[in-house]
Amino acid sequence: MSERIFGILDLDGSDIALDACHLLEVTALPKTLAPRPLAPAWSLGSFALRGALIPTVDLARLLALDHDDAPRPTGDHVAIVGFRGGRFGLRVHNVRDVVTIEDHQLQTLGASRNTPDTLTPRVFIHPDEQRPIHVLELEALFRLDGMMLTFDDAACEGPTAEEVAAVELPPDRHRALIVEHGTLRLAIDAAVVREVAEYGPLSAPVTRVSGYLGNQILRQNTIPVFDPAILLGHRSASPVAQRIVILEGPRGLIALGITRIERMVDYSDAACRPLAGDEAEADCIRGLLSSPGLDDALLIDHKALLEEATLSGLADIHASLSLTSGKVSEERQWQRFAFISYTAGGQYVTPLNQIDAVLPLPEKITPLSGDGPFTGTFRRLERTVSLIDLRQLLGRSTEAAPGQVLVVNHGDSAIGFMIDEVRLIDYIDAPADSLVIRWRGDRRADASALESSKRLIAIGEKERLRILTVLCLENLASRLSRDMSLSCDLDALARV
């Protein structure tokens, strides 16, 4: 089924949805706007944004949701909207949420089947809050007299270096994905992991190769899937795979069938011990990877694996059959963006490089007393990690015990966000300059740490465009640490 992503605009208590593909960014409403002569009452005027003129509409007045003609409060925002190659602004209180809706969930609203409402012809039920949200129709909006766009490139700036750093993989950092296939524990260098996907129906193998299970089609790519246990010479019966880890080699893609993803860890070459005895004869194993708090895992030598003649030959054949390999010939610089998806009472996504470690819930936790969000601490690598239940912070149910902890470093301290479980790690290959931060969260000074840590980003272009709602845990950890430090300072002052 086809899905669409909508940004929900808060109009001082009323909500209107806008297709997220039109939402460019959100900025503060200026104190003064230049009025336009003979403009309708819902036209607020224009303001300059990075040298570009932004004509701005008061959406609440336009839709008769607000009849007050008093000056607008300075705490409001302007949603910058792209349409027909130009852009304009919508006065909103805030961008409250971003939701994914399937086409069949959209319902037509009108006096009869053939006469839908003009400006808000469709409505959907919010998947979490179970209340109707009306969808703004931009084509109908621009049939009104008085609607204006601006057409120039002054405001089409890319993200800042700091914003790009928040979602790209940092250089010179070794990371491994720890996975299990039955009793076999493997570590795979993240540099060659393209993505993790659900194990789907396989077509029959095109040739008889040991460990070759068949082919899986994923977004028009034909990917040969292998049993890692058989590839490494294990003779015991293999379990049924639940997911596939897709590896990108010099000749194309291959996938390993696995039963479970455990976590992502940092590692150094010194942490990999050479194998002894018969196991040392395995060509595709670098050694035994040790990580604090984890069982040892076999670190795969991905270069040897991906250059093995039979595997690389199959990858080469299927790459030539895939419809998406044309990007290799493009001159633009491509980059791999990595994200970790997890559940915390709902589905959430965070840039992978913001996560220092994914751990099981510690057995030894020192509880904390007080009214703050932090519930306890534990020790990891000679550092104290402060625990907070992310589900509670998000207003979600905490009846079930958390299963894992996402550790985020902040200077000399660290914060562990308790979640339900990690679902998958998603790798997106796209032009490096295609990253756009469309919404930077609530930027007001009095905004909560959580609301200021939300982002709406777009990566890729045209049919490969991906729009993601991102929770920046680094920013959230920084704000929580600052608030905790301020609270401690105020408590100390009160005792003086």
Percent of the chain with pLDDT over 70: 81
Last residue of one domain, picked from the residues 105, 123, 157: 157
Q: Is the pLDDT reported for residue 389 higher than 90?
A: yes
**How many structural domains does the chain have?**
3
Query: Residues 471, 455: one domain?
Result: yes
In tens, the pLDDT along 392-449 reads 998 888 889 999 999 998 777 789 999 999 887 777 878 888 888 877 777 677 778 8
Contact 17, 80 (CB under 8 A): no
Predicted confidence at residue 436, as pLDDT, reads: 81
Task: Assign residue 346 the CATH number of its domain.
Answer: 2.40.50.180
Q: Is position 454 within any domain?
A: yes
pLDDT confidence bin for 490, thresholds 50/70/90: very low
In tens, the pLDDT along 274-303 reads 876 555 446 788 888 887 767 888 988 888
Query: Residues 373, 395: one domain?
Result: yes
Predicted confidence at residue 280, as pLDDT, reads: 45
Query: What 3-state DSSP class applies to 117?
Result: coil
Q: Is position 289 within any domain?
A: yes
Query: Residues 301, 353: one domain?
Result: no
Query: Residues 316, 359: one domain?
Result: no
Q: Is position 162 within any domain?
A: no
Last residue of one domain, picked from the residues 264, 297, 329: 329
Query: Residues 353, 486: one domain?
Result: yes
pLDDT confidence bin for 160, thresholds 50/70/90: low
| Helices (H), ranges, 239-366 | 302-307, 309-321
Q: Is position 163 within any domain?
A: no
Q: Is position 165 within any domain?
A: no
Q: Is the pLDDT reported for residue 355 higher than 80?
A: yes
Query: Residues 346, 372: one domain?
Result: yes
Query: Residues 434, 490: one domain?
Result: yes
Query: Residues 16, 121: one domain?
Result: yes
* Highest-pLDDT range among 46-55, 305-314, 331-340: 46-55
Query: Residues 179, 323: one domain?
Result: yes
Query: Residues 309, 352: one domain?
Result: no
Q: Is position 284 within any domain?
A: yes
Whether the model clears a pTM of 0.75, i.e. scores above it, the answer is: no
The residue segments making up the domain with residue 250 are 175-329
Q: How many residues in total does the chain contain?
A: 496
Longest Cα–Cα distance of the chain, Å, equals 87
Average pLDDT, the chain: 79
Round to whole Å and give the CA distance between 263 and 404.
10
Query: Residues 488, 342: one domain?
Result: yes
Query: Residues 324, 430: one domain?
Result: no
Q: Is position 170 within any domain?
A: no
